[in-house]
C-alpha cells in the first residue's frame, strides 16, 4: 500500500494504478484483518491512511472514505500521534473531494491541532493548505490566501519541492479571485516545479488551473490548448478526476467558441465522471456549463432546469459561486429570462389567456 501510494503521488503512472487495481482485494483483506485482530489493530491507522491516500489519487473516493472513517472510529481516542494526524489529513481530503466541506474543515482543524501538539512543521504546512482549500470553496478568499502563503513559506523553509509546487498551484486558485496576473505567475511556477519532478499527475491538474486563468484573461485559444494538454495526460494516466476537470474546462471553452456538438461531448463526459466520483462541486459546474450550452442551442427551458439544479446544490452544500462564474452567468440569466418570457407569452396567446400584441 505504501509503495503504491508513493508511486501514485510521484507520477500518477499507469503502472502504479494497475498495481493498485491488482492488489485491491489484498488491500481490502488487509484492512479487514487489521480491523478484526487486536494484535495488529495498532497498525491499522497507518495502513488505512496509505490505502485512503491511494483511493484519493485513484478517484475511488467512496471506498476511501469508508476505509478512513472505519479506521478512525475503530482506533478511537484523540491522542496527538503522527499516525492519527496523517489519518485525519487523508480523511479530510476525501471529504473535501466530494464537497462535504463542513466536515472536511472540522477534520482538518483537528489534524492541525494534532500537528501543532507534535511540533511537526511539515504536518502544520499540509493542514494549513487543506483548511485553505475549504475556505476557497466557501468564498473566503482573503482568509484562504493567508493560509496558503504560510503553507508556501513553510514548504520553502523545509526545502520540500512537491509541497512547494502544490502550495503555489493552490495559491493560484484563490489569486484568480483577486489578481489574475499573480494567479498565472503562481501556477506557472508550480508547473515548473512539477515538471522538474516529472510529477505528471500534478502537471495535468496544474494545466487545468492555467486553462481557467487563460479564459478569464480572454484567451480562449490558449485555454483550449492547456485543457487539451491536461486531458491527454489524465487519459494516459487513467486519472478520472483529472479527466473530469479537463473535460469540464474544455467544454466551457468550446461553448464560448460556438462549437456546440464538441462542447456537448466534453461536458457530458465531465458530468458523468463527476457523478461516478461523487464530486458534488464538479456536478454543479457541469450543470452550469450544460445550462450555458442549452441556452446557446435554443433550449431555454432545459437551461433553466439545469441552472435551478446547480443553484439548489450550491445552497445545500454552501459552495460559493466565484465572481468570474457569476459574471459569466449574469448575461446568460438575462437572456434566459427573456427567452422564457417569450415562451410564456406565446403559450398564453395560444391558449387565449392574453391578447395578441403582434
Q: What are the angstrom distances between the C-alpha of 117 and each of 81, 164, 202, 280?
A: 9, 23, 30, 33
Alpha-carbon span 46 to 40, nearest angstrom? 11
Alpha-carbon span 192 to 343, nearest angstrom? 52
**Inter-axis angle of helices 44-58 and 14-36, to 10 degrees?**
150
Query: Residue 348 pLDDT > 50, yes or no?
Result: no
Q: What is the pLDDT of residues 115-165, one digit of tens each?
A: 999 999 999 999 999 999 999 988 898 999 999 999 999 999 999 999 999
Q: How many CA atoms lie within 13 A of 65 on its CB side?
A: 19
Alpha-carbon span 313 to 287, nearest angstrom? 10
Q: What is the pLDDT of residues 233-291, one digit of tens each?
A: 999 888 899 999 999 999 999 999 999 999 999 999 999 999 999 898 999 999 999 99
pLDDT value, residue 195: 96
pLDDT value, residue 356: 44
pTM of the model: 0.81
Alpha-carbon span 234 to 156, nearest angstrom? 28
Amino acid at each position: 500500500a505504501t509503495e503504491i501510494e508513493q508511486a501514485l503521488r510521484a507520477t500518477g503512472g499507469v503502472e502504479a494504478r494497475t498495481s493498485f487495481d491488482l492488489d485491491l482485494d489484498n488491500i481490502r483483506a488487509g484492512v479487514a484483518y487489521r480491523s478484526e485482530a487486536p494484535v495488529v489493530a495498532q497498525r491499522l491507522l497507518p495502513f488505512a491512511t496509505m490505502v485512503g491516500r491511494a483511493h484519493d489519487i485513484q478517484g475511488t473516493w467512496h471506498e476511501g472514505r469508508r476505509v478512513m472513517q472505519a479506521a478512525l472510529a475503530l482506533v478511537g481516542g484523540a491522542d496527538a500521534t503522527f499516525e492519527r494526524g496523517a489519518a485525519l489529513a487523508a480523511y479530510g481530503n476525501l471529504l473535501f473531494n466530494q464537497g462535504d466541506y463542513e466536515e472536511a474543515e472540522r477534520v482538518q482543524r483537528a489534524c492541525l491541532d494534532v500537528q501543532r501538539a507534535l511540533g511537526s512543521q511539515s504536518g502544520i504546512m499540509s493542514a494549513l493548505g487543506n483548511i485553505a482549500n475549504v475556505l476557497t470553496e466557501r468564498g473566503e478568499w482573503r482568509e484562504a490566501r493567508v493560509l496558503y502563503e504560510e503553507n508556501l513559506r513553510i514548504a520553502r523553509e523545509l526545502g520540500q519541492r512537491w509541497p512547494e509546487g502544490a502550495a503555489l498551484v493552490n495559491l493560484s486558485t484563490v489569486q484568480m479571485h483577486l489578481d489574475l496576473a499573480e494567479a498565472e505567475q503562481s501556477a506557472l511556477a508550480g508547473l515548473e516545479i512539477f515538471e522538474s519532478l516529472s510529477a505528471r499527475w500534478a502537471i495535468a491538474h496544474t494545466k487545468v488551473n492555467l486553462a481557467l486563468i487563460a479564459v478569464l484573461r480572454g484567451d480562449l485559444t490558449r485555454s483550449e490548448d492547456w485543457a487539451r494538454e491536461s486531458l491527454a495526460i489524465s487519459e494516459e494516466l487513467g486519472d478520472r478526476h483529472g479527466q473530469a476537470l479537463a473535460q469540464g474546462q474544455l467544454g466551457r471553452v468550446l461553448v464560448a467558441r460556438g462549437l456546440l456538438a464538441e462542447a456537448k461531448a466534453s461536458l457530458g463526459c465531465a458530468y458523468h465522471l463527476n457523478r461516478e466520483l461523487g464530486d458534488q462541486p464538479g456536478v454543479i459546474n457541469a450543470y452550469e456549463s450544460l445550462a450555458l450550452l442549452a441556452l446557446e442551442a435554443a433550449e431555454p427551458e432545459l437551461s433553466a432546469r439545469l441552472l435551478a439544479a446547480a443553484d439548489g446544490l450550491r445552497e445545500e452544500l454552501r459552495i460559493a459561486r466565484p465572481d468570474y462564474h457569476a459574471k459569466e452567468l449574469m448575461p446568460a440569466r438575462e437572456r434566459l429570462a427573456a427567452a422564457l418570457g417569450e415562451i410564456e407569452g406565446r403559450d398564453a396567446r395560444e391558449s387565449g389567456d392574453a391578447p395578441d400584441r403582434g
